């Protein structure tokens, strides 16, 4: 029974987490990073993401101007390094603020005494 | 050996991308896949298995290409679905009736000449008159 339940929760959890990967990328890429290194960093920090989601996402964020990229050919294999741009930083700031507001709102829903109207 | 499977995977992915992004995506994927395989090898995996596992994780190359280009994997999004559904229902009401009407009309038009020609054909059943006059 518990099994069936947690499976039906999965799509909702995925939906809720989708946007957090963008925020995590923008924060982590304040120091330059390449695809696979970022995948591992995300994993170790609890933002487990599929490679086939992350790699296209990085290019999309670059296209939108929130990341900039540069090829590094000095290492053993050439890698594309991404860095958060100024626009990316302010997007991250806005998303973080929204996250704080949302978690406050959710806390008020969870807490019975949170909403004065309900008394 | 090991490069061919990866190369084929990358070609299958980049083939449908816009030309200007193909080489960049190719080079980036090459590095990402090599990095992922390398990390599996460090954990003592067999090279062929590691490569296969990494590519399997990346999934269907066509789906990967679609997410690179923001191309949806469906013909009709929610934006046009209702309009399409209404149009389909309308056409389902009109088209069969129009087709039946059209076929009936054509039957009527070709019906008369067909009757005449069949009458002529029955006349040709007897020997033609010219054969008689020449003989």
> What is the domain extent for residue A16?
2-118
- Mutate which of A34, A53, A79, A81 to disrupt the B interface (most B C-beta within 10 Å)? A79
Quick: pLDDT tens for B17-42.
Answer: 999 999 999 999 999 999 999 999 99
Per-residue pLDDT, averaged over B125-135, amounts to 49
- Round to whole Å and give the CA distance between A47 and A61: 17
B68 with A77: Cβ contact below 8 A? no
Residue B52 lies in a domain: yes
Contact in structure between A105 and A55 (CB atoms under 8 Å): no
B29 with A55: Cβ contact below 8 A? yes
pLDDT for residue B3 is more than 80: no
- Residue B71, chain A, CB below 8 Å: the answer is no
Contact in structure between A91 and A66 (CB atoms under 8 Å): yes
- Round to whole Å and give the CA distance between A11 and B44: 34
Q: Which CATH number does the domain housing residue A12 bear?
A: 1.10.10.10
B35 with A59: Cβ contact below 8 A? no
Q: Which of B58, B68, B70 sits opposite A51 (nearest CB)?
A: B58
Q: Which of B49, B69, B89 is the last residue of a domain?
A: B69
- Round to whole Å and give the CA distance between B102 and B108: 10
**Same domain, yes or no: B62 and B91:** no
A80 with B29: Cβ contact below 8 A? no
What is the enclosing helix (H) or strand (E) of B102? helix B78-123
> What is the domain extent for residue B51?
2-69
Count of domains for chain B: 2
Q: Which distant-in-sequence residues (6+ apart) come within 8 Å of B33 by Cβ? A: B6, B9, B10, B54, B55, B58
The DSSP bridge partners found for residue A83 are A68
Q: Residue B78: its pLDDT value, please? A: 87
CA B83 to chain centre: 23
More confident residue, B59 or B129: B59
**Same domain, yes or no: B13 and B60:** yes
Does residue B45 sit in helix, strand or coil? coil
Quick: pLDDT tens for A40-69.
Answer: 999 999 998 999 999 999 999 999 999 999
Cα B3 to Cα B35, B65, B86, B113: the distances in Å are 14, 20, 51, 71
Quick one: tokens of A117?
A: 């109207």
pLDDT for residue A76 is more than 70: yes
Per-residue pLDDT, averaged over B45-58, amounts to 95
Quick: pLDDT tens for A86-115.
Answer: 999 999 999 999 999 999 999 998 876 555
pLDDT for residue B96 is more than 80: yes
Q: Residue B71: its pLDDT value, please? A: 76
pLDDT for residue B117 is more than 60: no
Write down the ipTM of this complex: 0.82
- Residue A75, chain B, CB below 8 Å: the answer is no
Residue B134 lies in a domain: no
Q: Is the dihedral of CA A79, A85, A88, A93 positive or negative?
A: positive
């Amino acid at each position: 029974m518990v099994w069936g339940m947690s499976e039906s929760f999965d799509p909702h959890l995925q939906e809720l987490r989708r946007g957090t990967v963008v925020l995590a990328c923008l924060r982590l890429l304040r120091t330059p990073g390449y695809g696979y290194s970022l995948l591992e960093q995300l994993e170790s920090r609890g933002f487990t993401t599929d490679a086939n989601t992350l790699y296209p996402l990085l290019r999309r964020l670059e296209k939108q101007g929130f990341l900039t990229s540069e090829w590094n050919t000095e290492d053993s294999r050439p890698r594309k390094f991404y860095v958060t741009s100024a626009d990316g930083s302010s997007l991250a700031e806005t998303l973080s603020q929204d996250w704080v507001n949302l978690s406050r709102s959710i806390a008020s829903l969870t807490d019975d005494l949170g909403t004065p109207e309900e008394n | 050996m090991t490069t061919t499977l990866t190369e084929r995977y990358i070609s299958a992915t980049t083939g449908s991308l816009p030309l200007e992004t193909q080489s960049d995506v190719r080079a980036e994927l090459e590095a990402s896949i090599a990095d992922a395989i390398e990390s599996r090898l460090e954990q003592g995996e067999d090279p062929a298995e590691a490569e296969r596992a990494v590519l399997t994780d990346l999934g269907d190359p066509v789906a990967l290409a679609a997410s690179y280009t923001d191309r949806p994997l469906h013909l009709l999004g929610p934006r046009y679905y209702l309009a399409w559904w209404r149009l389909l229902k309308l056409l389902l009401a009109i088209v069969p009736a129009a087709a039946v009407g059209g076929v009936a009309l054509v039957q009527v038009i070709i019906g008369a000449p067909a009757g005449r020609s069949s009458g002529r054909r029955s006349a040709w059943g007897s020997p033609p008159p010219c054969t008689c006059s020449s003989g």
